[in-house]
Structures are given as structure tokens and as C-alpha cells.
Amino acid sequence: MLANAETKWAVLKVFNELIDHIANGRVAETAAAFTDDADVALFGSEKTDRAIGAAAVRAHFVAIYARPYRILFDLQPGKVSAHGNIAWLTADGTYRLSTGGDRTPYRLTAVLERRQGTWLWQLFSGSQPVDSPIDGR
């Protein structure tokens, strides 16, 4: 179910805010963008990019922000869908490190939940798409 315009723009605003928090290393704002549920989850491309629970998600970002660079995403949201207080979105694009280097393809799928009028991240699942080792697609 595609989201109505109001929901779509509210979810995209939260999406863009999180990308900005990550780019600027804002721990408190990043953590506050997620639910405080025991099953809130984050998965990324690296083997260590796995956090389940609010404390683990916060600790994950603390560790990332302690690095000498920032992650700069350039993601274009695809569809935003919703049903009631649950929304999900997809995004494709790239990321690069603030210290330079090539842009790396990145793909994101997310689930957000609206609580007391605020959209919060419940699932962040990002990955680096790679070519198939079988046929190169």
C-alpha cells in the first residue's frame, strides 16, 4: 500500500534527518530516531553491523562516530508504503567516507513506526549490493 502524501513526506523527513545525523555524528539525535524497543534492529554491510535493542543500536552508532571519518550517504528513496502506524521504505544510492575515496553502492530497507505523532525507526537494514558470482548481474 503506497503511503498517502502526508505520511510519505513525514517518513521522508525522518529519513533525511537520520542521514544528516549520521553524516554529522550526532549520537543523541541518532539514537532518538529509533524506537526504544528490545527488538529494534539495525543491520549493515559489515559483519559487525548488527545491533538488536535500543542500547545496542546506540552503542553501534557510538562506535561508528568514534572513527576518524563520517559516512556520507547519497540515497534516493524509492517507494514509501504504509498501513496505519507502520511505514516501510526502500532507498538506493551510494555512500562514501568523509576522508575521501570512491562512492560505494548502497541499498536500504527500513520499517518505521508512528508513536504519538512521531515516526521512529524500528528496522534499518542496509547493504552493499554486489554482482552475482555466477553470472555477473
Per-residue confidence at 131, pLDDT binned at 50, 70, 90? confident
Longest dimension (CA), the chain: 48
What type of residue sits at position 97?
A: L
Tell whether pTM > 0.85.
yes
Q: Report, as an integer, the average pLDDT of 80-97.
A: 97
**Residue 113 DSSP code:** E
Cα–Cα distance for residue pair 39/92, rounded to 1 Å: 25
Cα–Cα distance for residue pair 95/113, rounded to 1 Å: 25
- The class of domain 5-127 in CATH terms is alpha beta
State pLDDT tens for residues 1-56. 899 999 999 999 999 999 999 999 999 999 999 999 999 999 998 888 999 999 99
Cα–Cα distance for residue pair 112/105, rounded to 1 Å: 23
Q: Report, as an integer, the average pLDDT of 57-75.
A: 97
State pLDDT tens for residues 107-122. 999 999 999 999 999 9
Q: Where in the chain are the domains?
A: 5-127
Per-residue confidence at 130, pLDDT binned at 50, 70, 90? confident
